[in-house]
Chains A and B, each alone.
Chain A
């Protein structure tokens, strides 16, 4: 029976290999790295085109063109001050309130420019949620933290169900189901961060932006959040900014590497599948950064 199974494997692989002259030629070559998404990838959830951001006279970002694949985890890495967070905040217009903020180019969410006149910013932020560096639950009960978003968004239907579903998705339900009315601030840091993720999920977003979501957490809580990110990527598009290169390597499918140019404007030097970035980056600056020889 084992022999039959092995023969099946041989047959199946032989079938896959025929009609693949490139593989025949390079008998033992490792599979080619996945190409970055094509010019206009329909599967991209978010896309920037020639994005430039200014704070007054200071240029924070220059010419960032990036496609964030849907239902994947995309990490943005780079040394401090390279514009990672600025870029992330452009994805749901969190920079709008910063004095002197000005943007050129476009940020498209499913083909729609979210900076276009007439776009409902509240709706953008509902569909593209955000989790911050420090867990910031409201000083209310666990339940009220999660129910808050659906409530102000005028959700009809059963709030209890929404709260439970969001907490389950955030892998927190089992830990808090018996104490939903307890204050959120009594939870541990890691639990608070998962509560913030649940709060973001409760309004049924499509994208979740995470800005250094683990930097205030211990290693175990960090790994829990990372596991959760992998799980969430099955249903949501996730973009994470992290200083922790190893975290980007562990958790993401795609990685964007950013760097500060001489005039201190942030630029994207490379965007590729995470495996390629960490095993065989194309750009010398990426190589220097990830091997610790720069930055």
Chain B
């Protein structure tokens, strides 16, 4: 109705100055937030980069000291543990949430009853913060009050489940909780992908007598391959930025066993007043992200070009 109005409306004769002003409106509207975003991306990153090369301690200073902060960062055992944890966590977390997410998506895709209910159940953790999830799971992992206590109460008295309080395995407690939180998100994207596959492809395979398993392996999953990559890239970002989950779940402990780069940056900057080294650690986080995202964005651009070329 409103579109109709618009098309029928008679244009007022535009005066030249108004026209000129009119063509500037988009730029004027876009300008402020564009500048703010670019400052956020480039000035902030450059600023932190510069601080990482300075001898800032409690307050920022701009005396250039080269790579000293990086050297002392990498000489620190806790940082090395943190960086190792990041890789261990990212690997298991991404594979875990994608595996669970894919399984759930395929299960739901079998024309089950009450699809919306299942979907809601698997997806609700996405709405909840890592703080809430981490807090609640820290209770469940607590040996005297949580899962261990419950199973022992049922009669299995030497049952042991103290994942989060054991320094060798606490990282797996973080991984399990992370997978619990985010596999629903992977499920939603996979399910949407499966539904978007041309149904003629599936029908053709069915006529050829292919089993359901074979149809998934040979037709459906290869078709949604780009979704695997997209899910992985989104999850990697969560993994590298992981701060809240660990802060609420293990606080980096027991000892320093579940320290993550994000936790370490926070400690250096705001607990110990070593801003320079903290900035260096933050830059290393950005570097880890770039290692993943730069190749991915090139791949996306390459694929778009290819598709455009074919179209």
Q: Do A and B bind each other?
A: no
